[in-house]
């Protein structure tokens, strides 16, 4: 593994960081205050992101993306992660990789409009009674002739309010396994406006203000078989094949926010004076900075090693779990320590620290809780010795 950045990577980092600082930072406080993004602002920033070559940059070149290798993509995500989540996800959208699993017709209908910025996608897996245990989902899809009929509820569905369609995972049958019956899962494309499909407002969230969630309701929602994504009853295979890298994306965005918080803490420790000297000269503060920097570097190394192994075809589930676990828990630590160094000022919204601190909390929950990541890691360790 080579640790230095190429000339191209350096340019991407510099371009993305400049865009984030010049175009996204100025709108953060308003989004935090109102909890929403106006469509006029979304479209304005979207056009600027496209002009800068940053929109849908996660996609392969053959479909109109930047064709970045995984480490370079993670560098790009890391820089975007410095800003308010709603701003960077909505205005510099990265369509879900799972759209690449569609048929040519499905790509024309769903993937390319997302890449062109005409619409957004959303993923619907989680239910009120099925979070980490997705096999426990109750929302169902039943075949009726050549059609499928969907019923049930999904919640915590990010940005479904602006998405033009949802990629929905439904229980579509059962199979016998050595551990008993297990539900089969099928993935479907469901267009906004399809009869029997409705979207309503979700919950107010302490993290990522402006990045909305919604509740999706399916009431005898009828779909033709052409709306199936992948193979019938093979929805988990589709998800595992195309969504694994999202844990690396979460890790990378956490790195960006942690770097921003650490920079504020270092600058404050070097300029704030108490008892006749800079507070950074007191070990109670300087040792915090040392620990923060060390934890951040460790998370960086785990994340980018996993990205390098992803492209080499050697990445494992536990590699990605380790990166996600370390980066998300590191961010919580760094954000908390940065506030402690600032004292009361750290909790004021004049600085981004209280937002970073709040936003850090959800990272240990979505895309697989910290407990799920530890389960993946420990299971791999035990299996290696026959456990």
Q: Catalytic residue, from 217, 273, 367, 371: name it.
A: 367
H helices of 52-174, where?
70-80, 85-91, 104-106, 112-115
**Main-chain dihedrals φ then ψ at residue 121, nearest 5 degrees:** -105, 165
Tokens of 20: 């984030």
Q: How far apart are CA 317 and CA 100, in angstroms?
A: 21
Q: How far is CA 5 from CA 286, 302, 304, 308, in A?
A: 29, 17, 12, 13
* 183 within 8 A of 135, measured Cβ to Cβ: yes
**How many helices (H) and strands (E) would you count in the chain?**
13, 10
- Region for 68 from its dihedrals, namely left if φ exceeds 0, alpha if ψ lies in -120 to 50, beta otherwise: beta
Listed residue (139, 20, 134) closest to 76, CA to CA = 20
Residue 194 region, left (φ>0) first, then alpha (ψ -120 to 50), else beta?
Answer: beta
Separation between Cα atoms, residue 6 and residue 11, nearest integer Å:
9
* Catalytic annotation present for 367: yes
CA distance 33 to 37: 11
Active site residue ranges: 367
């Amino acid at each position: 593994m080579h640790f230095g950045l190429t000339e191209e990577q350096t340019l991407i980092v510099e371009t993305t960081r400049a865009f984030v600082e010049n175009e996204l930072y100025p709108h953060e406080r308003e989004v935090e205050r109102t909890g929403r993004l106006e469509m006029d602002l979304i479209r304005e920033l979207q056009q600027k992101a496209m002009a800068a070559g940053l929109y849908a940059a996660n996609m392969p070149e053959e479909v109109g993306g930047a064709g970045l290798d995984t480490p370079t993509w993670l560098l790009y995500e890391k820089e975007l992660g410095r800003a308010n989540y709603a701003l960077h996800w909505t205005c510099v959208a990265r369509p879900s990789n799972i759209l690449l699993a569609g048929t040519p017709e499905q790509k024309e209908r769903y993937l390319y409009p997302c890449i062109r910025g005409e619409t957004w996608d959303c993923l619907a897996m989680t239910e009120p009674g099925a979070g980490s245990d997705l096999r426990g989902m109750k929302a169902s899809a039943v075949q009726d002739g050549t059609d499928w009929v969907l019923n049930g509820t999904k919640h915590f569905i990010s940005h479904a309010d602006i998405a033009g369609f949802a990629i929905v995972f439904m229980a579509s049958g059962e199979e016998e396994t050595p551990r008993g019956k297990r539900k089969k899962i099928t993935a479907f494309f469901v267009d906004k406006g399809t009869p029997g499909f409705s979207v309503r407002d979700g919950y107010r969230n302490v993290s990522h203000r402006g990045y909305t969630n919604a509740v999706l309701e399916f009431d005898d929602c009828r779909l033709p078989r052409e709306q199936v994504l992948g193979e019938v009853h093979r929805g988990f295979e589709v998800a595992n094949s195309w969504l694994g890298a999202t844990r690396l994306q979460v890790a990378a965005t956490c790195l960006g926010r942690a770097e921003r918080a650490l920079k504020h803490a270092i600058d404050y420790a070097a300029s704030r004076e108490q008892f006749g000297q800079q507070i950074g000269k007191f070990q109670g503060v300087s040792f915090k900075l040392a620990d923060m920097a060390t934890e951040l570097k460790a998370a960086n190394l785990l994340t980018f090693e996993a990205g390098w192994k992803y492209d080499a075809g050697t990445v494992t589930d536990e590699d990605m779990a380790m990166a996600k676990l370390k980066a998300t828990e590191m961010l919580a630590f760094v954000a908390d320590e940065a506030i402690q160094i600032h004292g009361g000022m750290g909790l004021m919204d004049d600085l981004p620290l209280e937002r970073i601190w709040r936003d850090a909390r959800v990272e240990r929950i979505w895309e697989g809780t910290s407990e799920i990541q530890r389960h993946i890691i420990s299971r791999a360790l035990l299996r290696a010795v026959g456990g």
